Amino acid sequence: MTTRVELRLMIRRRLADTSAEPLWEDALLDDAIGAGMRRYSTRVPRQAVEDAVVLAGDRVITMPANVNPLRVVRVFDDSGTVWPRWEGSSEDAPAPGSRPRPEASWRAWGQDLVLTRAVPRDGTWRIEHLAHRIEPEDDTTPLDMQPGDDDLLIAVAVAAALERRAITDGKMSAGKGPMHPLAAAARSAQLEADRLFWERLRRARGGVVA
């Protein structure tokens, strides 16, 4: 898997900045990689699993801090049965003290999953959710991305780097001329990143699940 130092070198090649005295500081590129990871994570979140310990009679399951209830995809009880997301109207939304319903489902509110009926027994449930990817903190740990998505992360990181440099240079030349050329380059880089994202998501939707 690709590390930050390897990705930084790829970005330098894209920026034609591989001389012995590079123009782009490592710190700036590392910051751009972090920004790129956040943008990548928004469109390609990491699939994650969290175990939730439940007690018989519970109507509310509080999610850990690292789980966003709005990004929960599937809930399995301790027998492996799926509890689907509740799809009713807001006026008829289940509440912890409301009358139990025959159908087993859940809705997200705050940091909780509110169930339409009580948990039947003590157990451990499986919560599948979409998580933010971890931003790199060193040069040796593999980056938190899907295999083969190097070009995607390079594209968004290059766009972020160009944007930051254009903003910095623009502050020094504000009102002294037309748009900074790096701003135009950043816009082109972002368009390229958007194209790659579109192709990536199209392949994911068009793939065949075995």
Q: Which of 30-44, 83-97, 179-193 has the lowest mean pLDDT?
A: 179-193
Q: What is the DSSP letter of 22?
A: -
Query: What is the pLDDT averaged over residues 116-135?
Result: 96
Q: How far apart, in whole angstroms, are the C-alpha atoms of residue 96 and residue 61?
A: 10
Cβ contacts of residue 138 below 8 Å, gap of 6+?
Answer: 4
- Residue 175: is its pLDDT beyond 90? no
- Residue 101: is its pLDDT beyond 50? yes
Q: How far apart, in whole angstroms, are the C-alpha atoms of residue 210 and residue 194?
A: 29
- Residue 62: is its pLDDT beyond 70? yes
In this prediction, residue 64 has a pLDDT band, given cuts at 50, 70 and 90, of very high
On whether the CB atoms of residues 84 and 133 are closer than 8 A, the answer is no
Q: How far apart, in whole angstroms, are the C-alpha atoms of residue 160 and residue 138?
A: 19
127-165 pLDDT, tens digit each:
999 999 999 999 999 999 999 899 999 999 999 999 888
Which residue is associated with the tokens 């780097």? 161
Q: Treating both helix axes as pointing N-terminal to C-terminal, what angle do 4-14 and 150-172 enclose, rounded to 10 degrees?
A: 60
According to the model, what pLDDT value does residue 180 have? Answer: 60
